[in-house]
Amino acid sequence: MELISKPEDWTVALYEDTLFNGDYKLSDYCIVEEYDNGYILFHTVTWTILYLTKEEFENKFNSTFLLSNKIIVNKNIDETDIAEKAYINRAYIEIKDKFKNVNNFVILTTNECNANCPYCYEVLKKGKMSKETADDLLDFIEKRHNGKVTITWFGGEPLMNTDIIDYITAKLVEKEIKYSTSIISNTFNFTEDIIEKAVNLWKINNLQVTLDGPSEYYNKIKNFDYNGDSFDFVLNNVKNILEKTKIGISIRVNVSDENIDMINELFSVIKDRFNDYMKTRIKIDIHEVFQMYDEPNTEKRNEFFLRLNELQNKYSNDPKKNIILKKQLIHCFTDRCSCAVVEPNGIIHNCEHTTPSNIIGTLKDGITRMDYVEKATQKDGENNAMCKEFKCKLLPVCDHYQFCEDSGPCKSKELSDLKNEIYRRKLIRTYEYYKSKKR
């Protein structure tokens, strides 16, 4: 037996003393993957990951370790409630003092954009942040921050309103408030002047840029008002940033069934252009476009997500990106403490997917919808009905949208099964990762 992740004592205690009647089964919340003349097991209730030889697996009912740590359980036990308790405990967020102090901001300088990506989720009224709203924001920051402020410039395209970035950062300096920033930008407007300000005034430490495919596809998707090759223009801007600054670059690749066949070609170009920086300054984030969850053809959708997983494994340059890590179950901005998303008009959201449904206040009035904040972060099992109905083995460890109003991507048994299949693939990567660390 080779133990990768030890069981958590508090999760073992959830089972109480219900074993040892001589009639056993492998826990319903155990994922098993055959590998390397043996089996990798992931018990999601206790978060135990281990490797058993074939002989050990065949004799699993005689294993003191597996019995005492509830990986082998009474044949008649229903573990559903235990699994849900494990999930709620892991996902619990203390929100009593949420927004009392706010140090992290996503600031939409504008809702306007110089691109027109078809998968964009933003439906807000277009407009730019004014100095008056910026003053309200600065007042909000000054009253509520209790340490270094971190800002992500967002949009739309944030560089379509650089004057407001200049204004806010200059005022933070004037008020002696320590800060650092990052930016999500298509970089089309990243001129030499912008690069200088990004380093010296804006204090940007990371830039996320989206590259969804090679030249022809990229130019069609972005549809910039530009006569030349926009793809080449943007890559040159990124290269210029890498050469003239220490800013880290996150390359986001949004994948759909339209461009999945082009990703290998895209990365051939990326590696050719940025090879000197791939191991030090560039991170890769390959992600599905959310519309793919609604693909009505189950076979087509499942094939897409399995292929996507292969691409993520192939091109991610973060060895921990696609493995199973023991962590608190925080998935999105909603669950993070002391964070606010601010629209150009001063409306505050608890999620960067700014929609009318997740408005929680305004800069002038403060946070006025703590009831919504509490509901959005509540892990009371209310939204786990489908997880239990589908008997999803991932319920105790799932970090994916349990709190969302539409219950997230697992809207069907087929999607739940698909996610379990992807986790089995993650299990192999996890085992290989920790095995390599021991060499």
| Residue 308 one-letter amino acid | L
Average the pLDDT over each of 206-220, 255-269, 318-332, 397-411 and give the range with the smallest value.
397-411
Q: What is the pLDDT confidence band of residue 332, given thresholds at 50, 70 and 90?
A: low
Pairing of strands 2-5, 24-26: unpaired
Average the pLDDT over each of 93-102, 167-176, 177-186 and give the range with the smallest value.
93-102
Average the pLDDT over each of 62-76, 152-166, 268-282, 397-411 and give the range with the smallest value.
397-411
Asked if residue 99 belongs to a domain, the reply is no
Please name the residue that has the structure tokens 């993070």.
336
**The pLDDT of residue 407:** 46
Asked if residue 286 belongs to a domain, the reply is yes
Asked if residue 174 belongs to a domain, the reply is yes
Same domain (yes/no): 226, 81: no
**The pLDDT of residue 286:** 94
Asked if residue 136 belongs to a domain, the reply is yes
Same domain (yes/no): 233, 286: yes
- 114-117 contacts, C-beta under 8 A, 24 or more apart: 114/157, 114/160, 114/186, 114/188, 114/189, 114/224, 114/225, 115/157, 115/186, 115/188, 115/221, 115/222, 115/223, 115/224, 116/222, 116/223, 117/210, 117/212, 117/221, 117/222, 117/254
Q: Are 183 and 198 in contact (CB under 8 A)?
A: yes
Last residue of a domain, one of 375, 401, 426: 375
Average pLDDT of the residues in 429-433: 90
Domain hosting residue 408, numbered range: 2-92+383-437
Same domain (yes/no): 401, 314: no
**The pLDDT of residue 336:** 60
User: 0.75 exceeded by the pTM?
Assistant: yes
Q: What is the pLDDT confidence band of residue 198, given thresholds at 50, 70 and 90?
A: very high
**The pLDDT of residue 403:** 43
Same domain (yes/no): 277, 411: no
Q: Are 310 and 423 in contact (CB under 8 A)?
A: no
Distance of alpha carbon 107 from alpha carbon 183, whole angstroms: 10
pLDDT at residue 225 tops 90: no
**The pLDDT of residue 330:** 57
Q: How many CB atoms lie within 10 A of CB 366?
A: 13
Q: What is the pLDDT confidence band of residue 307, given thresholds at 50, 70 and 90?
A: very high
Q: How many domains does the chain have?
A: 2
Same domain (yes/no): 248, 335: yes
What is the average pLDDT value for the chain, to the nearest integer?
Answer: 87
Rank 278-282, 288-292, 323-327 by mean pLDDT and report only the highest: 278-282
Same domain (yes/no): 222, 349: yes
Same domain (yes/no): 294, 210: yes
* Per-position DSSP letters for 50-81, written without gaps between them: EEEEHHHHHTGGG-HHHHHTTSEEETT---HH
Asked if residue 135 belongs to a domain, the reply is yes
pLDDT at residue 22 tops 60: yes
Same domain (yes/no): 293, 405: no
Rank 9-13, 169-173, 324-328 by mean pLDDT and report only the highest: 169-173
**The pLDDT of residue 151:** 96
Instruction: Give the CATH number of the domain where residue 131 resides.
Output: 3.20.20.70
Q: What is the pLDDT confidence band of residue 230, given thresholds at 50, 70 and 90?
A: very high
SS3 296: coil
Residues listed for the chain: 439
**The pLDDT of residue 310:** 93
Q: List, in sequence order, every residue forming a beta bridge with 254; answer none if it has no partner.
A: 287
Same domain (yes/no): 291, 245: yes
pLDDT at residue 402 tops 70: no
Q: Are 84 and 66 in contact (CB under 8 A)?
A: no
Asked if residue 17 belongs to a domain, the reply is yes
Same domain (yes/no): 204, 312: yes
Give the ranges where 381-412 is alpha helix by DSSP (H).
385-389
Asked if residue 97 belongs to a domain, the reply is no
90-144 pLDDT tens trace: 877 666 666 778 889 999 999 888 887 776 666 556 789 999 999 999 999 999 9
Give the ranges where 252-291 is alpha helix by DSSP (H).
263-274
**The pLDDT of residue 372:** 75
**Whole-Å CA distances, 434 to 319, 324, 332, 425:** 10, 11, 26, 15
**The pLDDT of residue 213:** 95
Asked if residue 218 belongs to a domain, the reply is yes
**The pLDDT of residue 250:** 97
Same domain (yes/no): 238, 216: yes
Same domain (yes/no): 397, 304: no
